[in-house]
Amino acid sequence: MGKKYLVLLFIIILLVCVVSLTFIYSKDVREVQIIKGSEDKTNGYAIYTEDGDVLYTENLEVSNSILNNVIVKCNDFTVKNPIGIVDNPPNKSITDIKDMVLKSLESNDSILIIYIDGLGYELYEESINLGYLPYISTLEKGAKALTVYPSITDVTFTSMVTGETPKYTGIHSRDKKKLEVDTIFDIASQQGKSSKIIEGNMRIVIDEVETVLNIDENKNDTIDDEIYETAMIELENPTDVLLVHFHSYDDFGHKYGPDSTQALKQLKVLDSYVENMVSKFSGKVIITSDHGMHNVGNGGEHGTFLSLDMFIPIIVKE
């Protein structure tokens, strides 16, 4: 009789456990974020993994395990708990910029990278339509490209100049540390060619490349006019690889919102800087960004897995 009661008690406990797990699972099912990339092409999927990689696949199946993990099964691999998925991603990425630079170096062409911090692809298109990019709008339409995650400057800038995802650069946050892989500047140096970064008031990429820092000397709440003046002097005799990093659109976007009048007017100022720099430079020019930005309250933020943050333009002028 005692044995029957033990068996019955075991069954009751088992049922309670199953019901409890089912209840928990049904009330708090983890979901993966999915954003749409392109409407007119079929490029499969880009999966952003927890360790900072981006994996591409033509087919996938998303499910939840009994332990409430998101499982993404693909033909050749499985990913647990991805950061997010881009459905039909563009065929360009911020990591492609490295190969574009190296191709120019192989042809003995100098290259100028003009980097407008915070300018996402959708804002790039909107700014053209609203007339805030009068010069850039005359150039060939920029390619829509993926950036890496998290979409913050230290992480994305590093991937831009290494061609690697955060999994391999070792940069996953704003913490400053030396890179684990070579940059375009390292490779240029190995080829006997010169490089320089014209930057704001601090180094972002911790590398051996010469970096010219600038401060807000005229106290007008932006360093970009000083960066521009430094760049114009440098363009008198430029290095083989010159990267100029403008910060003010991102700064104004954070303060007022990325599509605010203040931010867009500052973007128009940067457009005039770009025009003057390009007219002074004989070589290949890449105009790009590192991440986008979305509105939050009266300001703007980035770093999340949203289309406004995750797509950037890559504009090329030969």
Residues 241-286: pLDDT tens digits?
999 999 999 999 999 999 999 999 999 999 999 999 999 999 999 9
Question: Which segments of 102-248 are extended strands (E)?
Answer: 111-116, 143-146, 195-198, 211-212, 241-246
Q: For 138-167, how does the pLDDT look when each residue is reduced to its tens digit (9 = 90+)?
A: 999 999 999 999 999 999 999 999 999 999
What amino acid is encoded at 144 in this protein? K
Position 124 pLDDT exceeds 80 = yes
Residue ranges of domains in the chain: 30-89, 92-317
Looking at residue 180, what is its pLDDT? 82
CATH number for the region 92-317 comes to 3.40.720.10
Find out whether 271 and 134 touch, Cβ atoms under 8 Å. Answer: yes
Range 161-190 average pLDDT = 94
CA distance 273 to 252: 17
Length of the chain: 318
